[in-house]
């Protein structure tokens, strides 16, 4: 069965450009998460979506970051006016979310490099 799919796997962009990162969760998973991992660092929580509830955006580092989830499935993380410090691996995860987050299944990540 298909796991969590992320695209692009690698993205190189120039400072000031906007980027969009896509996540396709496991079918039937109601919870979807975005994390950021800088080189040699841990996972930094960004945002999660659960069913039809309002997303928890408490981890977004600035208003240049936004995310949406359409139809309860695919999610897009958008970073506007990218800065060099945005360079990191952006990881998406999904979970069944039946009575709590449970096990998170991660995609392979999108590696963003801002020049």
Partner 1 sequence: RKEVEQDPGPFNVPEGATVAFNCTYSNSASQSFFWYRQDCRKEPKLLMSVYSSGNEDGRFTAQLNRASQYISLLIRDSKLSDSATYLCVVTRIGGFKTIFGAGTRLFVKA
Find, among 113, 115, 111, the residue nearest to 9 by Cα: 111
CB 92 within 8 A of CB 4: yes
Cβ proximity to partner 1: between 10 and 17 the closer is: 10
Cβ proximity to partner 1: between 82 and 90 the closer is: 90
Minimum CB–partner distance for residue 83 and partner 1 (Å): 22
Cβ proximity to partner 1: between 16 and 102 the closer is: 102
Minimum CB–partner distance for residue 16 and partner 1 (Å): 28
């Amino acid at each position: 069965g298909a796991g969590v799919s992320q695209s692009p796997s690698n993205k190189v962009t120039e400072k000031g450009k906007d980027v969009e990162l896509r996540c396709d969760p496991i079918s039937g998973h109601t919870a979807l998460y975005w994390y950021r991992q800088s080189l040699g660092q841990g996972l930094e929580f960004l945002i999660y979506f659960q069913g039809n509830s309002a997303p928890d955006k408490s981890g977004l580092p600035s208003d240049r970051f936004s995310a949406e989830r359409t139809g309860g499935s695919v999610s897009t993380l958008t970073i506007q006016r990218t800065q060099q410090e945005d360079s990191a691996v952006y990881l998406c995860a999904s979970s069944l979310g039946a009575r709590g987050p449970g096990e998170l299944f991660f995609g392979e990540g999108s590696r963003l490099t801002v020049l």
